[in-house]
Structure 1
Amino acid sequence: MLDYRTEAPPILRDFLVYHETIQGHSRRTVDEYYLDLRNFFRFLKQSKGLAAKDVPLNGISIDDVDLALVKDISLTDIYSYMSYLSRERGLNNTSRARKVATIRSFYKYLTNKAKLLDVNPVQDLDPPRQKKTLPKYLNLEESLDLLDSVDGKNSSRDYCILTLFLNCGLRISELVSLNKTDVRDGQLRVLGKGNKERMLYLNDACQKALLDWLTERDALTLADQNALFVTLQNRRRISKAAVHKLVKKHLTAAGLDSTQYSSHKLRHTAATLMLQNGVDVRTLQEVLGHDHLNTTQIYTHVDSDNLRAAAKANPLSGAKQRKRPKKDDKDG
C-alpha cells in the first residue's frame, strides 16, 4: 500500500504533509501528488545521468532526491518530461496538464512557503493547451422525465438521491458522505473538497424527498447508523459505484442516453437550471462549492437560448440607421 510518509524523501514529504494537514486535501489527492512527483524525479535522474539508462523508470529510487537536485531544473527539463509523457506514455493534454499542475504546486510551495528557493524556476511554465468543452446537461423536461422514471425497489431512496443531485448540484463524493445529522432545519450540511463545509437551503422538493426516504430508512436495522444513504442489501453506507449504477439505471428507464450522462452531469444540470432561472453566478459559486469563480463561469456559456434572448433584449436590437441630412458644401 502506498505510504508517502515512509517512502518519500524529506523534501517531497514535507510538501505532501502540508497539503494533507494544512490544505486539507484528501489522502487520495495527496497520493496522486506523490505519484506525479515520484515519476517526474525518476525521469529527471535518468535524463541527467544520475541513473542508468537501461534501468526501467519505475525501478529508479528517489530516496536521494534533495534540494540540490530540486534546484537543478529548467523549463527545458520539464518540456522534455512532457514530451516523454506524450510520446512514450501516450498521455493526453488533460492528463499532462494535471502533472504540470502538481510540479508547479511543488515549486510554489518551496518558494513561497518553505522559503527554500529564492526564485521559482517553473513560474513561467505553461500547461498543455486543453480543448474546452461545454458541460453536458439535461434540460428541464428531461430532468422531470428522469424523476418520473423512478419506480419499484429502492424508489424512495433513489428518488431522493436524484432530487438532491438535480436541486443542490452535489458532487457524488459529497452525497455518499452525507450523514443523517447533516439534515437540519431545512438545510443540508455538505462537506466538500478540502474538507470545506457549506450549508445549502433545501427547497420543498428536497425536503419532501428526504422526509419520505428518512421515514423508510429509520424503519430499517442499519449496520451504519450515521449514513444518510445506505444500500438496502447490506444496510451500510452507499458507495459511489452503487450511486453511479442507479443513476445509469434511471437514465435508461427515462429513455435518456446513459452513455452521455452521469451523476456529475446531474450536477451540471442543477447549475445550468439555476442560472437559467435567475441565480447569479456568485451565488451559484457558493452553492456548488467552487473555490474560484472562473470554475463556475463555464456554466454561463451553456445556454444559447439565454444568450439569444439577451441579444434581443438590448434596446438597440431593432434600431435602423437614420439618415442624416447632408451638410452643405460650404460647411466642408
Structure 2
Amino acid sequence: MQSDLPKIVKDFLVYLTTIKGKSLRTRKEYEYDITLFLRFLIAVENDLDIAKINEISIKDITIDFIKEVSLEDMHLFLEYCEMERNNSAVTRARKAATLKSFFKYLKGKRRMLDENPAEELETPKIGKKKPIYMDQQEAEKFIAGIRKNKHYYRNYSMIMFFLNLGIRVSELCSLNITSVQDNLLHVIGKGNKERTVFLNKACTVSLYKYMEKERQYIQGSTTNEALFLSQKGTRLTRQTVAKIIKKINQDSGLNKEKLTPHKLRHTSATIMYKSGADIRSLQHILGHTSVSTTQIYTHVEDKEIRGVIESNPFNLLV
C-alpha cells in the first residue's frame, strides 16, 4: 500500500515512528485510517460508488486537496464509519485521533496549513467497560491447566511473567535473553520506552527451569536471542501466544469468556491492587505514561465497596 500513498502521508508515517516513537502496528493503523478517509473524500467529491471505496487511488492527492478539507467532512466520514461500516465508538475514536494527529502535523510541524480543521473535532464518547479478569481462585485453576507437554516449562514461565508482572504480550514476545539481568527484567514498552521491573521468585524459578530443561534443547537456541522460543526455534508472535492462552483456558476447564493475553494483564494488575499495591507502583510496573490509565485496572467489586461503607466506624454508632 505504501507505493499508492501520496508523499505527504508517507512523510507523516515516518514522523510517527522515527520522532514520535510509535510502533509499526500503530503506524499501520494510522495508515489505514488516513487512506480510508482520503478515499472517502474522493468518493464523495466525485460521486463514486462508496461500496468500491477500496479501489479508489489516493496517490495523486496533493496538499491543495487537503487544504479544502473541513470539519464537516470529518463528521460525515465518522458517520459513514458508524452507519455503513458498523464501526464501534472505540474504532471511531481511534479514527478521530488519527485525523487530529495528521492535521496537527501538517499545520504545526510542516506549516502546510493555515488552519487546522481537526482542532475542534470531538472524539466519540466511549462507555467505560468493566475489565475482564480472573479472580485469585480462577487464576489458580487456569495455571493448573497448563499441560505438561514438551512446552510446559516455557508456557508456565510465560504465564508467571503475565500474572506476576502484568506484562504486555508484545513486550513478552520482544524479550531477549539479555533482557534478564539477575533478578531484574528490562522491558521495552509502547513508544520504545524502557522500564525495569523486579523478577519475583515465581518468575526467576520458572525461567530457570525453562532455560535448563527446555530452551537449550530447541533447535537454533544458541543463535536466536529471543527469550521465549517456538518449537522451530523462532521468536514467538502475539498470535501464537494468544493461541497458547486459549488452549490453557480450555484445558483447565475454566473456559473464561474472552480470555486473552491482555486479560491476564488485567488479572495481574487487579490482584496486585487488591493485595495492597499503590497506584504509583502499579503505574511503573505496567508501564503506563498516565496514572489515569492505571486507574482502569484498579476497579473493585460492588460488594467490596459496600463492605468498606458498612465497616465505617460511624456506621457502628447507629
> TM-score normalized by structure 1?
0.87
- Tell me by how many angstroms 1:258 deviates: 4.2
- Tell me by how many angstroms 1:10 deviates: 2.4
Identical counterparts, % of pairs: 39
Native 8 Å contact 2:188 2:194 kept in 1:
yes
- Tell me by how many angstroms 1:313 deviates: 4.9
Which residue pairs with 2:94 in the alignment?
A: 98
Q: From 235, 238, 243, give the equivalent of 1:237.
A: 235
How many pairs align? 314
Equivalent positions of 1:313-324 (< 5 A) are 313-320=311-318
Which residue pairs with 2:48 in the alignment?
A: 53
Equivalent positions of 1:71-110 (< 5 A) are 71-110=67-106
Q: From 205, 214, 218, give the equivalent of 2:202.
A: 205
SS, match of residue 219 in structure 1: helix
SS, match of residue 89 in structure 1: coil
- Tell me by how many angstroms 1:187 deviates: 1.0
- Tell me by how many angstroms 1:260 deviates: 3.0
Equivalent positions of 1:161-176 (< 5 A) are 161-176=158-173
**Unpaired segments ≥5 residues, structure 2:** none
Native 8 Å contact 2:177 2:225 kept in 1:
yes
> TM-score normalized by structure 2?
0.91
Q: Give, as a single letter, the amino acid of the residue that structure 1 aligns with 2:11.
A: D
Equivalent positions of 1:243-258 (< 5 A) are 243-258=241-256
Instruction: State the Cα deviation string for residues 212-247 of structure 1 (Å, max 9, x = none).
Output: 11112353143253111112x322222323222221
Q: From 287, 305, 317, give the equivalent of 2:285.
A: 287
Which residue pairs with 2:186 in the alignment?
A: 189
1:143 pairs with 2:139: yes
CA distance in 1, matches of 2:252, 2:306: 29
- Tell me by how many angstroms 1:319 deviates: 4.2
**Unpaired segments ≥5 residues, structure 1:** 321-332
Native 8 Å contact 1:182 1:189 kept in 2:
yes
CA distance in 1, matches of 2:70, 2:311: 52
Native 8 Å contact 1:135 1:302 kept in 2:
no
CA distance in 2, matches of 1:303, 1:114: 49
Q: In terms of mean alpha carbon deviation, does 93-102 or 64-73 score higher?
A: 64-73
Which of these two proteins has the greater Rg computed from alpha carbons?
A: 1
Native 8 Å contact 1:137 1:269 kept in 2:
yes
- Tell me by how many angstroms 1:210 deviates: 0.8
Equivalent positions of 1:39-50 (< 5 A) are 39-47=36-44, 49=45
